[in-house]
Amino acid sequence: MPKIGLGKEYLMNMSIGKAAIAIAAAWFACVAPALATEVANLKGLKPMAEPGLLPAGVTSVGMTQHGVAKRKVASVEGGVITYKDADGCTVIEDRKRGYFAPEVSGTNCGIAPYRIDVHSKQGNIWPLAVGNTESYSATFRAEQDFSASRACTVTKEVRIKTHTGLHDTFKVVCAGKWTVYTYYMSPKLGGLVKLVRAKGNKHSRTEPLTWEFTRLE
């Protein structure tokens, strides 16, 4: 599940009804996650500021290839955010690390409880503009330890199509040894509208995921 710090435009422009959610869920069930949704390259987007924090109690509703996905902001304390998913997964993130940094920990998320230690950060990707970079040296710690380091780059400006329509976005790719995350960030809406999680190599156990933002509750 993605980070959900968002701008005010989410509350104004991204709400859709229950019937539309049902239609979107049926659509996702029939479409492979690898479906190309980049419809046009762009130029001239204004640099995008880092999204702010949502208050505790807000739930982000999105769509994945598996159906509707909900993530609630359980608490926010000094930039440390605790998220709880509808399936019981609890994830803690520290925005002082950085928006694209690995999370702090996770429990009940389909694997053994884990934490991720961030050792260092280089660069500053904000405000988003093509060519900006930042990277993290990190270690995933659970039953076995392995690298969670990632290098993030704003690769291009692109118009994408999601189940809510067309969005002009910055494409940010965060590549690690085991997992590659691709974020599509909308300057107009002030946040993430699509996330793709893919394997970093053929030996990775990462579960591929495609997520699209629907609305806030």
pLDDT tens digits along 81-119: 999 998 999 999 999 999 999 999 999 998 899 999 999
What's the confidence (pLDDT) of residue 3? Answer: 63
- Confidence grade of residue 4 (pLDDT, cut at 50, 70, 90): low
- Confidence grade of residue 37 (pLDDT, cut at 50, 70, 90): confident
Residue 18 has pLDDT above 90, yes or no: no
Residue 215 has pLDDT above 70, yes or no: yes
What's the confidence (pLDDT) of residue 199? Answer: 92
- Confidence grade of residue 10 (pLDDT, cut at 50, 70, 90): very low
Residue 34 has pLDDT above 90, yes or no: no
Residue 8 has pLDDT above 50, yes or no: no
Q: What is the pTM of this model?
A: 0.85
Q: Which domains does the chain have, with CATH numbers?
A: 9-216 (2.40.360)
As a whole number, the mean pLDDT across the chain is: 86
Say which range, 76-85, 192-201, 202-211, has the weakest mean pLDDT: 202-211
pLDDT tens digits along 147-162: 999 999 999 999 999 9
Which residues, listed in sequence order, are joined to residue 118 by a DSSP beta bridge? 138
Residue 13 has pLDDT above 60, yes or no: no
Mean pLDDT computed over 7-16: 37
Residue 9 has pLDDT above 70, yes or no: no
Mean pLDDT computed over 51-70: 95
First to last CA, the chain: 16
Mean pLDDT computed over 187-200: 95
Mean pLDDT computed over 117-140: 98
